[in-house]
Chains A and B, each alone.
Chain A
Amino acid sequence: MEPTDDELIAEIGSGSDLAFDRLMRRYRRLVYRVAYGYTGDADSALDVVQETFLKVHTRLGSFRGEGTLKSWIVRIAANEAMNWKRASWRLPTTVLDESTLPRPEIETDAIAGRTLTRSIAALGPKHRLAIVLRYYGERSTREIADALDCSEGTARNVLFRGLTKLRTMMTASQESLR
């Protein structure tokens, strides 16, 4: 039988790497999807997965069990992904070789994808987390409420407001491209 999160936490506390390996295996795909929602890039999402679990291991002693372990890990992943976004400002700009540019229809999709990722990144933290968890993490309203530390009704409203803001930003950004 699979050990519960609490059992794993206890084992990790007594120094078991095997237990931490199991815990990572349990949540790594969720962390990856959350990270992808923030970064829009598979390699960056994998970097965030790595950083997230390092933080989880460091801070596990301070996890008081007030929410679920899953929502605690999701919040750490969201913070790490945001830090990654900030750090990526400093990346050097690549000079493009026109011959390597993708075909027009693919480029349009790529631009739409980037616009979506940028607009999500421009949302406030609560709205951003709700949108990422709902669509990229494919989480239920209950789980979103856990991660936001609020009621399900409030989580539904945060999701709605987030979507409304996102639509406003996407519309503005599409019109600026015309």
Chain B
Amino acid sequence: MSDCARFESMIERYLASDLDPKGVSELLAHAADCETCGGLLALHGDLAEAGRSVPEPDDADLDRRQERVLRAIGLRRARRPLRYAALAAGVMLPLALGVVLGRALPRSGSGPRLLEALHAEAASNQGLTDVEDSPFTYSNVSYSRLEGDRVALDFDVTTHLTAVESERSPLVREVLAQSLLNPASVGERLKAMSFAAADPKLEKAVLFALRNDESVAVRLSALTVLVGRLDDEEVRGAMIAALRSDPSVQVRLAALESLASHRVDPRRIRDAVHDRPEAGNEALMVRLAELERKP
């Protein structure tokens, strides 16, 4: 194990099938006596085997999928002239009328109508899948809390919109969920997380962030939101998983504190901490021992 660092670049080249035969022999000799490097090479072998065992799809299945794609493209193309006609009517008619009636008509109406459509879509979306399939994608989102339970939303969706909504509005939940699921900026995700805290219905999106978000700050924030919902087994399971395998020791420590403070089964906590014998575990062991000594 002591000279593993020396073998790191050799393993890198070995994985890339780019190591000369002499290097391969040297590496294999080392791996035979080293659990860490041996384990890596074994996993490399398992993955290569998994890749070789991928069931090859039938050409007929792939052909069917291609036909569906081409059919969908054809349908889209067929709808396009209609859309252009509608667009032309929508743009040219108000413009023509505007010449006669003045300039106000084309400017009014599109924002509220779009907002109505967004409200309708948000209200009909029941779960995360619906949110993902939504025809509207929100970007450049900013939120600010107003008096009462109101939220000022500012976002782009085909056009730039600003709206003041109740915190419990389906539209607010929709935009928050999208911020957590889609690749928004870290700042936007953190802000969305702070609003999600007030809404138990956004729990799935927060769980998604805890499991998948790349940012430690967002995952820590997700832990904070979920602490109040530890009675739910799914939340407890996700937090145990974070304690066991989050790449950040900071997140694992935070998960440990949350689970211990909510008196989750100490055996589950202990097992999760002991599951991962690697760097950073010492801090968890020490903290766990401290928590276990507490009355």
Contacts and interface: CB of A to CB of B under 8 A. Distances in A.
A116 B11 contact: no
A169 to B, nearest CB: 5
Interface stretch (A1-9, A62-70, A100-108, A170-178): A170-178
B115 to A, nearest CB: 26
Interface in B1-54: 8, 11-13, 15-16, 18, 39-40, 43-44, 46-48, 50-51, 54
Contacts of A36: 54-55
A90 B12 contact: no
Nearest to B241: A122
Given A21-B70, A90-B129, A172-B245, A164 B46 contact: no
A46 B62 contact: yes
Nearest to A55: B69
B40 A169 contact: no
Interface residues of A, number: 56
Given A42-B55, A46-B57, A160-B12, A86 B69 contact: no
B244 A176 contact: yes
B72 interface: yes
A50 B204 contact: no
B245 A122 contact: yes
A46 B61 CA distance: 8
A172 B18 CA distance: 30
Given A87-B132, A136-B54, A159-B12, A24 B66 contact: yes
Given A36-B54, A86-B208, A20 B70 contact: yes
B256 to A, nearest CB: 15
Contact of B43 (A33, A125, A166): A166
B128 interface: yes
Interface of A: 15, 17, 20-21, 24-25, 28-29, 32-33, 36-37, 42, 45-46, 49-50, 53-54, 57, 83, 86-87, 89-90, 113, 116, 122, 124-125, 131, 134-136, 138, 140-141, 152, 155-157, 159-160, 163-173, 175-176
